[in-house]
A and B are shown apart, each in its own frame.
Chain A
C-alpha cells in the first residue's frame, strides 16, 4: 500500500511542491530529446532511402567529431576545419555509394546491414589510426557556441538554462524541421521518397538511385556532424559517444523507422520520459534508470503498435 502511494501519488505531489525542479527536468528532457531526434533522423534518412538500418550511424557521429577536433588540433582555423569536415563527410558519402551500395544493389537487406557493420569497424579503425583513441575536448567556443547559463528566478525557485543547451535545441530543431520540409515538399524529397518505396519504379521514371544515395548519406553525415558537435560540447569527444547514438534505437521503435515526424516525437518522448522517471520514480528502485528506461517505453509501444507511433503500416495482401 505504501509502495503504491510512493509509485502513483507521491511523485505528483513532489512535482506540485517544487514546480521549478519539474520545469528544470522538463527542459533538460526536452534538450536531450531534440538531440535524440537528430540522431534518429540520421537513421531514418538512410533507412528510407536504402532500406537498411545503418549500424554505422553512431560511429559516423564520433568520426565527424574526431575529424573536426583533429583538424583544429592540426592548426586549421575552427570554421575552416568545420568546412573541411563537411567536405570529408561528402567524400565519405560518395565512397559509401561507390564501394558499398552500388556493388550490393538488389542484394537482400541483411547483406547491406552487415556491410554497415563493416563500415563501422572501418571507421573505428581509421578514426583511431589518424586521430588517436584518447578523449578530446570539442572546440565549442571556437565555433562560437555560447557558454554559461541563464538563471530564471521563476516558479518560486530557480531554473537554469545552459546557453549551450539552448543553442543545441535551436540548431537541432532547425535541422530536423529543415530536413523534414525538404523531404516532404521538394522534387528531391519526392524522388527520395520514391526511392524509399521502390528502386525499380524510381529507375523507370528516370530517378538516379546513385545521386539520391549520395545525397542521403551526405545528409546523414551532416546530421552526424551536428550531433557530434552538440553532444561533444556537452560532454567530451570519445568513442563512447557511439553509445549515445544507440539511444536512437528506442526512439526509432517508438516513432517508426520510416517516419521523420516519428523520429522527432519519439525523440522528445524518450528524452522527457527518461528524465522524469529518473528523478521521480528512480529512487524507488535504486536509481540509474536513465540507461534503460527508454527501452522499456519502446517495448510497451511495440506491444500495442508494432509499426511505431507513426510508422508506415505494412499490409501484405495474400
Chain B
C-alpha cells in the first residue's frame, strides 16, 4: 500500500443491500474508502458495481445498510446532498449536456458554488460578474489541465467519444470534489486515450489530493492505478485487498474465469 492510502476513512458503506423487486443487486456489501486513495471496484458484468456507485451518490436507495460519509451516518444519500458535499461522478455511458459547449458543461459543474442573486446575474454586473469571472478562471484551469482548449466552444454532442469522456471528467472536477466516482472512465477508448486518461486520474489524485473510486474492466489499468481493490460478484463482496493480492485470490480468479463445479 502506498503512502497516499494512509489517510483516515472518508466514506464507508456498511452492510448495503439493494433489491429491485425480486432481483438482488447488492447483498450485505461493506467496504471503506480512505482519504486520498484510489479505490477500484471490479467484478464481472452484472456484479453490482454501478449499483454501488449509484447508492453512494444517492441515485439508488438501499433497503438495508448505512453509508458513513465524513464521519456521519446516512441510511440513504440524496443526489443533491451528495453534490453539495463534495461527491462528483461520471457515468458509464457518458451523461453530458450535449447541446452545450465544453465550456458551459464545465460551468454547470460550478452551479452549486455560485450564489449571487438572480437579478445581479441578469444585469451581468457587479458582484455577479466578479463571481462569474472567478468561476470561469477555475474552469479554464481545468480545461488547461485536461488539454481540451481546442474544443472549448464546441457543442459536446459533436465530439468523439474519448473526448466526451474527458469533458465529463472535467465537469466532475469543476465541482472541486472531495470524492470522485468514475464509472468505467476508459471504456471505448484506444490505447493512447487510455494512457491519457490514466495520467489525468493519477494527476488529479496527486495534485489535488482528490479521493477517487473507480470502476474499470481493464485489469492492467486497475492494477497500475489503484491502491486497493474491492471485488464484487453477483452483488456480494468476494475480495478486498491491494492489487497484487487480489490478482492471486482464488475466489476472484474463479469469478472471472469460471470454476468447474
Residues of A within 8 A of B (CB): 181-182, 185-188, 190-191, 193-194, 196-198, 200-208, 258, 312, 314-315, 317
Contacts and interface: CB of A to CB of B under 8 A. Distances in A.
Nearest to A178: B122
Interface stretch (B29-37, B92-100, B246-254): B92-100
B52 interface: no
B121 A206 contact: no
Contacts of A202: 97, 108
B61 interface: no
15 contacts: A181-B122, A185-B121, A185-B122, A185-B124, A186-B121, A187-B114, A190-B104, A190-B108, A197-B99, A202-B108, A204-B83, A204-B91, A206-B111, A206-B112, A207-B108
B66 to A, nearest CB: 22
Contacts of B83: 203-206
Interface of B: 57, 59, 79-80, 82-84, 88-89, 91, 95-100, 104, 107-109, 111-112, 114, 118, 121-122, 124, 157-158, 161, 171, 175
Contacts, number: 88
Most buried by B among A203, A208, A312: A203
Nearest to A204: B89
B121 A205 contact: no
4 closest Cβ pairs, A-B complex: A206-B83, A201-B95, A197-B97, A186-B121
A206 B104 CA distance: 15
A112 B107 CA distance: 30
Contacts of A205: 83, 88, 108-109, 111-112, 171, 175
Contacts of B122: 181-182, 185-186
B80 A198 contact: no
Given A186-B118, A188-B118, A206 B96 contact: no
Contacts of B84: 206
Contacts of A185: 121-122, 124
Given A187-B121, A208-B80, A197 B175 contact: no
A180 to B, nearest CB: 12
A272 B243 CA distance: 70
B75 to A, nearest CB: 19
A205 B89 CA distance: 8
Nearest to B109: A205
Nearest to B181: A204
A317 B158 CA distance: 10
A35 to B, nearest CB: 24
Given A188-B118, A198-B96, A258-B99, A207 B124 contact: no
Contacts of B82: 206
Contacts of B118: 186-188
